[in-house]
Structure 1
């Protein structure tokens, strides 16, 4: 079986690496194991993630943790690309910042770093709010590693630690919710998850509540109600959030004009895109790109 080492990714045999990668059904990596821990965030896509003897369905907003030595592979559905952010690190990379914080060692996503016999939570499905918080930190980590500003390794360690603490809180919160609040009917949960996956996949196209109602054979009123109930936001708000996140990625990773990026992520009106971007990010798309460029 293929064994992957962290030095295969890092330039200086460091203890941490992060990257964004895309896979289609024909180019998914074969089953392999790592000599490091891998935290995987699913940006969009669907399929199955096999970790050890278990298989988990892949959805946008899911987080997986693959321990050292655990075999895993992806099976991507036909016609569905998979985009993920891989965060790879050695346990001592995080332990170094928590040596004097024993109260944090009991958190679900930190305990396995201090006790090899404690398992990680293998998969955690995040709500849209939780997903946005985690994705924002991962995007910041990607920029730190890409541009390597002074002190970037310290920043990377702190942000990764923050992500693990947030995931621990989300995990514990979901446990309390399951105990104290009657769960939403499974059929509603599945519908909302499918809608979210659809938005992640087709965000660049014209999407309306009416078109979604037709796509999922439901009434517009029913879709609006259950989507708001599950995610806390409207379908339009979710779609705008997805498009803005994709626009931020294009602003940083390409030289395309703001007008071209607006069109690429589904905004026919670049002026509306710029106003919406400024309202959500606190600056214009051009200023966002300029601010992120290394000095």
Structure 2
């Protein structure tokens, strides 16, 4: 089966990498109505959102996200058009059971027209980079380089449908959703994506990127030093490179600069502490390296989309 792959024209894309947002922040950028999910356990490296969409005639700019994104159509049908910035529109007729896979480092434009209904409903699943890296090592070996996926629009995949339906049932229908079961489904999805949807150009894209074993050493050093100040010199020393070459190779491997990646790790840790502990917001900020509560709140809101207080009580 030929997959409906979105093609980006490099000549029409910005020269520099766009700032990427986290999965949780996407609800602040899409015009659809977020659908409330019942209280559920926090899952490490997994974000699930649900939207109800009406027709959108004027194009909207969809920001790039850090995590690979799966969008699964729950109900309804629509004609969806997408394009890279400055590119040509590409249309897909989608219906319940179809999925989109997005792993682009650049924002793009979308618009859609519902067909035979007023709205269509979709579920977003964001898989954290550690989860993807674990799946890549399992499938490709311990020395696998960081992976990128094809961008797929309006395709059918029975395995994806089965696993996402199980995840939906677990989160929506069970009185006490199991974080272990839900996380296992996310792990299975990550393995399937690595097996089936790797971008064949990933080697070219990652040329001169930081080797996998060095990348893991650096990320381990980052995680161990979240409460400390960011030090490019120390991380470059861990990688055995000059600061200039380390920064370039790290960004080529991850899509983010070392400082951006460090902040994302801090925010991941902060989200976990806010939901899983009773520590005060000030204590959480201190644990992830922010002595000023206002600075912590400012960075958290920029990266996650809401303040730490709203995030904890949402």
TM-score band (shorter)? 0.3 to 0.5
Q: TM-score under structure 1 normalisation?
A: 0.45
> Whose helix fraction is larger, Structure 1's or Structure 2's?
1
